[in-house]
Amino acid sequence: MGVAIETTVWEPNLTLFIFMFIVCFFSLTLFPHFSKNARINNNKSSSSSFDHSSPSPPSPFLRFHRHFLLLYSLASVMEGVWSVFGEFEFASKDQMLISLSFGYGAALLVGTFLGMLSDSIGHKKCCLMFCILHLFVGIWKRVSQHPGVLLASVCLSLATSLFSFSFESWVVTESEKMGHRRDTLGDTFWLMTFLESASLIGSQVLVNWLVGGNVGNGVASSSSAAIFLALVGVLCVGKGWKDTRQTAMMKDNSVSYAGIFSDKRIWLLGFAQACLHFSIAVFWILWAPTLVADGREVNLGLIYPCLLGARMLGSTVFPWLLSGLLSLRTEDCLFYVFVIMGLALSLVAYDYQEIGVLVMLFCLFHAGVGLAAPSLARLRTMHVPDDLRGGMMSISLAPANATILFLIIQRGYYGSIENSTMMAIAALGLFMAAACMHLLKRWGKQPYQNWHKS
C-alpha cells in the first residue's frame, strides 16, 4: 500500500500585509503634522504635497508636483507590466539567459550614455523616449505572433535605464527653475519610492486580472494595456511638460563631467549607487530560485507584493529619520542601512534557511532599499550639479551593469559561480557602500557650488 505524502504551499501570513498597511497609513497620516511644525520652527515657507489646510488654490509648484507624481506612478506601472509572466515568454532557460545578457549588455553599452544625452537634449525628450520604447514593445508583441524576445529585452532594458534617472533629474531641474528650496525635495524623493512600489503592486493586480484563466490571451491583453498606458504617458509628457533645458545652459562649458568626477565625493556617491543597483539586480535574479530550492512549494505571487510592501514601509521611515523629529544626518542613516542590508544578504548567502526566515530577510533588505534610494537622491541634490545629474547617474551604473553581465555569463554558460557566491558579492558591495558613506561624512559637506563657480 502506497503512502500519500501531502505537500503544502508556503504563503506569507495575512497579518504581515495588514501590519505593513497600518504602519504605512499612520506614517503618511501623522508625518504632515510633524513636518509642518518643523517648517514653522525654521520660519520658512514651502509647498508640500501634504498641505491641504489652506483654502486658497495650490501653488504652481504644488500643482506641478502632484502632476509629476501621477505621471511617475504611470511610468512605474509600465515598468511592472512586463515582469508578470517571468519564464512563460521564454522557450528555455538558455533563451532567458541570452535575454538577460543582451539586456544588461544594452544597458552597459548604450544606457551608460543616455544620461549625458538627457542632460544635453532635455529630460522631457528622454521621458518621451521612455514611453515610446514601451509603446514599441507593446505593439511589437501585439502584432507579431512570434515577437523577438531579444529585441524586446533590449528596448525594455534601455527604457529601465531612462526610468532610473530621467524622472528624478527632471523634477530636480524643474524645482530649481521654480525657485523651490532644494532641501525640501526630500518629500518628493521618498514619495517617488513609495508610489513606485505601490504602482508595481498595482501593475501585478492589473495584469493578473487581464490574464484571468488564460495565460496566452493574458499576454496579448497585457500588451494592449501597455500600449494604452504608453499612449497616455506620451500625451501627458508632450502636453503638460515644459522642456527645462535652456540654450545658454547647453553652451555653458564651465562645468564638465571631467570636473564633477574629479571630486571624490561624486566618486563615493556614484560607487554607492552602483553597489545598491547591483545588489537589487542580483536579488531579483535569484530571489525565486532561492525560495524554491530543494523542491519547496512557495506562492511567489503573494511574496512579491510582500517585498514591495516592505519597500513602501522603508520609504515612509525616510521622512521621520531625516526630516521629522530625529533629523539624522543622511550619511549616518545610509551607513547603518547599508550595513543591515549587507548582513541580510550575507545570511542568505551563508545558508538558505527556512522559507519564513528567508522572506523576513528579503523584507528587511527591501525596507533598506526603500530608505536608501531617497537618501542617495538627497545626497545627489547636495553634491551634483542639476544640469549634469542624469549623466552622473547613468555613468555610475555602468560598473554595476558590467559586473552583473559578467556574473550572468559565468553562472549561465560556465557554471563557475554559485548563486550563494553572487549573493555574497552583493553583500560585500553593500558593505563597501557603507564605507563610502563613512568617508563622505568624514570628508565633510562641500556642495558642488564651491567649484561650480570656479
pLDDT confidence of residue 141: 82
Residue 397 has, within 13 A of its CA and on its CB side, a CA count of 30
pLDDT tens digits, one per residue of 256-270: 666 666 788 889 999
Give the separation between CA 412 and CA 390, rounded to whole angstroms.
32
- Tell which residue, 396, 376, 372, 407, has the closest CA to residue 104: 407
pLDDT confidence of residue 51: 53
What angle (nearest 5°) sits at the alpha carbon of residue 277, between those of residues 123 and 150?
75
DSSP 108: I
Q: Which helix (H) or strand (E) holds 360?
A: helix 355-383
- Tell which residue, 365, 389, 369, has the closest CA to residue 379: 389
| Residue with the three cell numbers 500588451 | 223
For the chain, what are the domain ranges?
14-20+61-452
pLDDT confidence of residue 46: 46
Give the separation between CA 373 and CA 371, rounded to whole angstroms.
6
pLDDT confidence of residue 66: 84
Write out the DSSP string of 89-105. G-SSHHHHHHHHHHHHH
What angle (nearest 5°) sits at the alpha carbon of residue 36, between those of residues 31 and 40?
150
pLDDT confidence of residue 284: 92
**CB-based contacts of 12: which residues, under 8 Å, 6+ apart?**
302, 303, 306, 359
Q: Which residues of the chain have pLDDT under 70?
A: 1-7, 31-59, 84-92, 145-148, 179-184, 212-219, 240-261, 323-327, 352, 444-454
Q: Which CATH number fits domain 14-20+61-452: 2.60.120.10, 2.30.60.10, 3.10.310.50, 1.20.1250.20?
A: 1.20.1250.20
Ordered alpha helix ranges (H), 49-122 = 60-81, 93-106, 112-121
What cell was used for 326?
530625529
